[in-house]
Amino acid sequence: MNLNLFKRKVAAGLDVLGVNAAGFALQKVFFSPFLRVVNYHDVPPELAANFEEHLKFYSKCFVNVAEGDLRGFLKGKTWPHDKPGLILSFDDGLASHIETVAPLLEKYGFTGWFFVPAERVITRSELGLEEETTDEKRLTTDDVRTLDVNHVIGSHTTTHCRLSADLDREKLSFEIERSKSLLEEALGHDVRIFCWVGGEEFSYSKAAAGLIRDEYDLSFMTNNSVIRPGTNPLQIQRTNIEAENPLSLVRFQLAGFLDIIYSPKRRRVNNLTR
């Protein structure tokens, strides 16, 4: 049995036993007020119905978090809701984010946080570069501008590059600073939000964290943790969920168990990137 199938079976069993619901309830008791951040990748049309089931679940258990809500929360502003907040983020600048995701988010009153690799969404011809050959349907510059009206746009590096310790200063600058300037030129306003590529421990580095700190004031990672007042705004952790996941697995992933499992890795990454 592969790991993904095993996790699904465990999640389904815990769901039937009420363990997932109990874990979520305990988080509310011990951590409120808190926010949770999840990240998705592609949401193709054939998965739209399942993704909508996720949104129905989220709308019952969470309230939407827009950019101003997050900034205020991190600074200690009173959280005016009984429910925890939820940030829904989407990585990699994929066409399904405007074709499938945005209409469904708006139907259920959620803000999308779209983290885009600048050279994947700003067409390479606009930059005087040779076009890549790919079967992947990606956002265009106009798509990103459209999403920017009602949602949040952040940098996901320039070329979708993991910022490991072996990259030199020039490459880090290209991925971190250039992505910012390209997006700002396309959108016509400051871009102060960054999202690291990859969740593997090697994809984080001290040198990259220093440059990110200089250029951005919010930064997202993927090491599973609730967000509480006083959380480091440059170490906002996310939980990966995909559109094909059954609801039992979504509930398991948000029940707090992964936070415990990931805590040693999260501690190491946080110490490295302070």
Q: In this structure, what CATH number is given to the domain that contains residue 80?
A: 3.20.20.370
In a domain, 33, yes or no: yes
Paired residues of 113 in beta bridges: 89, 152
Residues of the chain with pLDDT > 90, as a percent, come to 91
121: confidence class by pLDDT, cuts 50, 70, 90: confident
In a domain, 129, yes or no: no
Say whether pLDDT at 250 is over 90.
yes
Q: Domain for residue 130, yes or no?
A: no
Is 264 within the bounds of a domain?
yes
Residues forming beta bridges with residue 40, ordered by sequence position: 90
Chain segment 149-205, per-residue pLDDT in tens: 999 999 999 999 999 999 999 999 999 999 999 999 999 999 999 999 999 999 999
7, exposed or middle or buried, with CB in 10 Å at 0-12, 13-18, 19+? Answer: middle
Tell whether the torsion through CA atoms of 149, 237, 59 and 71 is positive or negative.
Answer: negative
What's residue 93's pLDDT?
96
Long-range contacts of 164-168 (CB under 8 A, 24+ apart): 164/202, 164/203, 164/204, 164/205, 165/202, 165/205, 165/206, 165/207, 167/205, 167/207, 167/208
For residue 131, name the pLDDT band (cuts at 50, 70, 90): low
Give residue 134's pLDDT band: very low, low, confident or very high (50, 70, 90).
low
Number of domains in the chain: 1
| Neighbour-count burial for 165-202, b at 16+ CB within 10 Å, e otherwise | eebeeeebebbbbbbbebbeebeeeebbbbbbbbbeee
**pLDDT at 127 exceeding the cut of 90:** no
Strand partners, 220: 195, 236
Structure tokens at 248: 């039992």
**What does the alpha-carbon distance between residue 264 and residue 244 come to, in Å, rounded to a whole number?**
28
| pLDDT of 129 strictly over 90 | no
Report pTM: 0.94
In this prediction, residue 120 has a pLDDT band, given cuts at 50, 70 and 90, of confident
Lowest mean pLDDT among 26-35, 116-125, 137-146, 242-251: 116-125
Contact in structure between 159 and 178 (CB atoms under 8 Å): no
pLDDT at 73 > cutoff 60 = yes
Structural domain containing residue 98: 3-124+135-272
- Contact status, residue 212 vs residue 176, Cβ threshold 8 Å: yes
Residue 136 has pLDDT above 80, yes or no: no
